[in-house]
Structure 1
Amino acid sequence: MKQYISPDKSRTYREKTKEVQELINTTLHILDCFGIPVENTPRRLERMAIAFLACGDIKDINHFRSVRDLNSGYALKTRGIIEYVNEHFGENISSGSYDDIRRKDLKLLTVAQVVLQSSPNSATNDSTRGYSINPVYAELLRLYGTSNWQSLVEKKLESIEPLRKKLKRERQLAKVNVTLPSGGELVFSAGKHNDLQKAIIEDFLPRYGFDAEVYYVGDTSNKYLYLETEKLEELNFFEISHDELPDVIAYSKRKNWIYLIEAVHSSGPISELRLIQLQKLTEKCKADIVYVTAFLDRKKFRQYIADIAWETEVWIADNPDHLVHFNGDKFLGPYVQR
């Protein structure tokens, strides 16, 4: 069986017992067979797997045979899921993180209807709504381990288009090719935001990056399109699965600078509030930080100019050979409080 999460890539996974690790890996294999995309960070995959297990009251490998589903009247609310995974899977998730269960951990599973809502017509914030495994998939779970299980899955689900395929089809509608400074290539989905990210990588970094290497870039259809987890961990960067990620992260070894770059099309620039958030998140980082807000053109820049924080940089893609410095006392580089 494929190893979906490597212990050296995830601290929380590594700290779990061997039995729980095996259960999580098996669960991801099952979800993969159900057509759920499993291309994500190790922590996101781990969280999805344990949330799924909670929805079926599955505590170990043998419990797949006795999985509980919506027809059995079993359903857990988001806070109940947190309590379940904390108790049975060595987690320490805050009870206040209940909204992450719905928005992140169960998102793909509910869209694919592998997990169902106990009251699907209720409001999003309805505290009585629970989550449970779809009886169609629960039936397959009870058969897991039989010699022809994958064939049974394919036959049972042949009329259901896998979520993986649906998402892949959407991403293939239009593409933008991007060349990394290292010479590698990425493929973005089409759109103004991704056009700007392409310009940042191909035009900004060669001019102002001091041989910077891209360590992270997201896509509108894939938040973790390119990610150098180990290299960021070496710099003691904050957890890459955090919601506060900028659009592009690059590192110049020559300068020991990390560039945190926001590509502004519809969302905001690095404002004073955003700067405080990023400074807090990167306070243990071993590299100096350069904060950059990028715009496609001056018109968009003028729209946001009043919001841009001091001690940051602005780059405009249609004038690529120039920078706007909000530092005051010097040119491009990290700002050190005197």
Structure 2
Amino acid sequence: MDKIKEAQIILKELGLPKLQQNEISALTLLALCNIKEKDNWKDSTKNSLGVSKGIMQFISDVYDKEYAPNTRETVRRFVLHQFVQARIADYNPDIPDLPVNSPRAHYALSIEALSVIKTYNTKEWEAETKKFRESIGNLSKKYAKNKAVHRVPVKLPNGKTLNLSSGKHNEVQAAIVEQFLPEFAKDSELLYLGDTEQKDLHLDDKTMLKIGIPIDQHSKLPDVVLFDRKKNWLYLIEAVTSHGPVSPKRVVELEELLKDCSAGKVYVTAFPSFKEFKKWSSEIAWETEIWICEMPSHMIHFNGDRFMGPR
């Protein structure tokens, strides 16, 4: 029996759904195990591999299977995500706090899966796979608990705490809510807060609908949206670490998106550091505001005619 078919059997016995028992899933497992056609499964090793230059390259070089470049996203979403959920693989085991979209993202066999896979075609195989399947529930809970350590907690004005996924971007978002809001947007309500993993982590759709913000297009909103009812001001805040600053193009896009919203719009770009601000300064739109996490009690206004005059 060839190695691809054997890998499919292994995936089935480890409890993977049928969709994750296909050829690309089998090849992904072979890459993670570093198993070639004539190798024995007992020689499997734990290797940390990225998707394109690791897994896809192995599949091409060793098994002569060529996939289109966009297949890497399919592998990520419909193979590796399920491998992680089933505790067959670990995500970023070498650097657990990598940002979600980091180019250094990698996957590796879990120690538990490696131990079981090494017994394939031996008398221990049946007992080991049974033990693995029975323990998945407990391992999943343990994994979820470990992942929670790397979350970014953010306390909302109402006292509720949300846990954002790890990474510099969400650290900036947390600072916006916990530092910018009480300093420069006191008494404002948090209408929208996205997350790199869950785009609508916090969404006050009732208020948004009431003031004319289309709730079916929140993916087009900036990272954080605050609303001051007394002033009727809408703070539209971009964390530069996502898609850059509030640029002239972004202002036009948001003006079009919010054309039915009568609230006064305050455009803000949040930066983690002054160094990062200098890097993006040429792309920032005039008549917008700058807030820097490392200088939380100060603001920079781009253009001065609204504030021109003696102090």
* TM-score bracket relative to the smaller structure: 0.5 to 0.7
- Measured after TM superposition, the shift of residue 182 of structure 1 is 2.3
Counterpart of 2:272, as a letter, is L
Distance 1:263 1:209 in 2: 16
Aligned with residue 208 of structure 1, among 162, 178, 184? 184
Residue pairs, 1:178-193, within 5 angstroms: 178-193=154-169
After TM superposition, the structure 1 stretch with the greater mean CA deviation from structure 2, 185-194 or 275-284, is: 185-194
1:278 alignment counterpart:
254
| Contact kept in structure 2, 1:296 and 1:316, CA below 8 Å | yes
Q: Distance in 1 between matches of 2:291 and 2:210?
A: 28
Partner of 2:290: 314
Q: CA-atom RMSD, angstroms?
A: 3.6
Tell me if 1:268 matches 2:244: yes
TM-score by length of 2: 0.53
SS class of match (1:231) = helix
Match of 2:300 in 1: 324
Aligned mates of 1:124, 1:253 — CA distance in 2: 48
- Contact 1:264-1:295 at 8 Å conserved across structures: yes
Measure how far apart 1:297 and its partner are.
Answer: 1.0
Q: Is 1:177 the counterpart of 2:153 in the alignment?
A: yes
Tell me the TM-score normalised to structure 1 length: 0.49
Instruction: Quote the offset at 1:123 in angstroms.
Output: 3.0
What residue is the counterpart of 1:47 in the other structure? none
Match of 1:295 in 2: 271
Segment drifting more, 251-260 vs 164-173? 164-173
Residue 202 of structure 1 and its aligned partner are, at CA, apart by 0.7
Q: Which amino acid aligns with 1:319?
A: M
Match of 1:194 in 2: 170
Quick one: structure 1 residues 227 and 168, their matched pair in 2 at CA, closer, same or farther if it must change by over 3 Å?
A: farther
- 1:1-338 to structure 2, matched below 5 A, reads 123=68, 172-265=148-241, 267-331=243-307
SS of the residue corresponding to residue 289 of structure 1 reads strand
CA contact (8 A) 2:200 2:218 kept: no
Give the AA of the match of 1:279: E
Task: Sort the Cα spacing of 1:329 and 1:228 in 2 relative to 1 into closer, same or farther, 3 A.
Answer: same
Contact residue 292 and residue 299 of structure 2 kept, 8 A: yes
Greater CA radius of gyration, 1 or 2? Answer: 2
Residues 212 and 190 of structure 1, relative CA distance in 2, 3 Å threshold: same
- Counterpart-to-counterpart distance in 2, 1:167 and 1:121: 33
Q: Determine what percentage of the aligned residue pairs are the same residue.
A: 43
Q: CA deviation at 1:321?
A: 1.2
Structure 2 unaligned runs (5+)? 1-15, 23-64, 72-132
